[in-house]
A and B are shown apart, each in its own frame.
Chain A
Amino acid sequence: MSLDLVAAGTVATVVVAGTLRAATPIIFASLGGLISELAGCINVALEGVMLVAAFAGVITSAYSALWFPDAPLWLHPWLGCAAGLLAGTALAGLLAVFHLELGADLIVAGIGLNILAQGLTVLLMAHLTGDKGSTASLTSFALPNLRWPGMDGVPVLGVLLNGDGDAGHNVLVYGALAATGWVAWALRHTVFGLRLRAAGENAEAALAAGLPVKRLRYAGLLLSGLLASGGGVFLGMGYLTLFQADMAAGRGYLALAAVFLGGHRPLGTVAAALVFGGATVMAARLGLLAVPAEVVFMIPPLVTIAALVLVKQHQRLAARRRAAAGRATLLSS
């Protein structure tokens, strides 16, 4: 009986740990999307930022090993990570310049950068490796896992803390959790958060209050680039240990959906990102069965659409109930 419980608990924690892992890139990107959205600039280029960051991270870590053969091994993934963050943030910076300096429409410019990122990463990959599909021919590095000691064989908790197979969680999984806490805290409790939200909600008021609205929007977009890059780096140097063409696979767009689904609140956004992560895990599980791959790939976007519709429907029903209650009072009075 108790053994069954442990087994069930273990399965559940495997799913939880897997969900967290699958959700990590979406959490990073959605936190980035949230910050820029609150600053008044929707960042449609999250997808492209993730791709560029993943690519730069993988390539840099691989070339770091070629260029500095004598350097300690731990250096290469961290160099890659830094390069990935830098490259992704730079792409977001490009979007900021297009929009804030040159007056380009955010949506159009963002989509343009996504298409650019898709093509550019494949072009450079083909040029460097001769392969248009992935960087499998290069030896690239993963960022380290963090493993809690003394958890060997501890049921449930061991799996939760150190993952299925006791290898620990990638450092960026913890990074995503830390980023969640930081974003939630900074938006609510810091002067910067207050100013960012003011600039996003009523730019004219912020301007009249003497706030540097443009600079705040730069900060919002650059921060969103930095956070989304964290997700991209995780994809290439944690989730997998190589770069694949189009490896962001729509996660940047899912992240945007998470921002709206989460009601523009940090914790809501991360909860929505976890739902999307869960859908990915479910898709992977179904992939083990004889379900056609096309159906499996449809699951995360279907969950997204279903979640958006359900939340809206729920709000509408609640509104209708409130209206009905109000009408009852109106007629009875």
Chain B
Amino acid sequence: MNKIKDFFAGAYRAAVFEFKCAMKDKGILIFLFLVPLLYPIVYALIYNTEVSRDVPMVIVDEDRSALSRELGRLIDGSEAGMVAGYAADMEEAKAMVAEKKAYGIVYIDRDFSKTIERGESATVTLFMDMSLMIRYKSQLVSLTDATLDLGSKVQVEALSRLGADGPKIPTTVASYYYPVGNPEQGFGTFLLPGILVMIVQQTLLLSVCMMGGGMNERRRMLGGRNPLSSLNAGPVAIMLGKAVTYLCLYILPMVFLLLLVPYMFSYPQLGGLGDILQLVLPFILSTVFLGMVLQVFVSERETSFLVIVFTSIIFLFLSGLVWPVYDMPAWIRVMSACTPSSWAVPAFVRINSNGAVLSEVAGEYQMLWVLTAVYFLLAYGVNKLVPRGMFRKL
């Protein structure tokens, strides 16, 4: 009985101590509060326009017929593209692309309208600058719609010319497309939910590592003494106490990141509050324990920047948001499985954007608890073994 009491008293002392250290540390406060506050807003502003509209294209019209002019009008009228100008030949058009006055060339050959009038299919050629995928996609959409529109006009005319003697043909199939979870297919709506989860993980990792670096520096400065030793608490109590501190500290930023930001910028928010909170618990715990593992490699506060910041890029790709994980080589899939965000990002995206409930992200949820357990044990182990570990008394 006394032992249990001692344990909780120790954990409590460790929690209060960690809390005081964090509150006194401007660097940690920046990463726990300022970065989560500002980053999502900056990102949202960057991607607020969501899609690339009216991508300028230059038209080389060698046909100069009513039909080819109609195509130009249709491109200009589409949301995705616009006509930046007409060029006399390909050379002139290429010069316009070189000067970035246009990002694509629409080439209509001399026989375009004649071919169609003969009742054959004519071809429009589109040359695209490939510096940005999003512009490429816009041009493709604009031209596909324009050629289909022009095609159906030609079709109607052809059929009406045949009149009552024309063939009774079966209708074509209509198709309807629903982009689920991101109706506008916007860039911000795609990237932001994942980025928000990444911000939680990376700021937590940096904070825990900086705290560890600070502890090591203090220890060096104070002649090898660990201030925590005066707490007189067992290793498990210290770890749990610390974890609880971060959990409490992160409540505010978490509510802001995962609930308020999607609301403010009207990103999809189909998820239930309860589901999100349940998911966040093992996510934060596994991240904090991972931080405690990495902590022992950080001898100074500032070196954490050099080694932690770049991992954001790696972790973002490991989460499968940009590129599906199943298509990656095995060694990368293993790395992905070991990272908390790789489970938290897809789970959060599917809860918030696709309206999944917790049982539909059960796999991810369970894996987060598995990682929590694994990193707890690992953190316990390395901190015991490594001389720099946080349990060292002297």
**A, B: real partners:** no
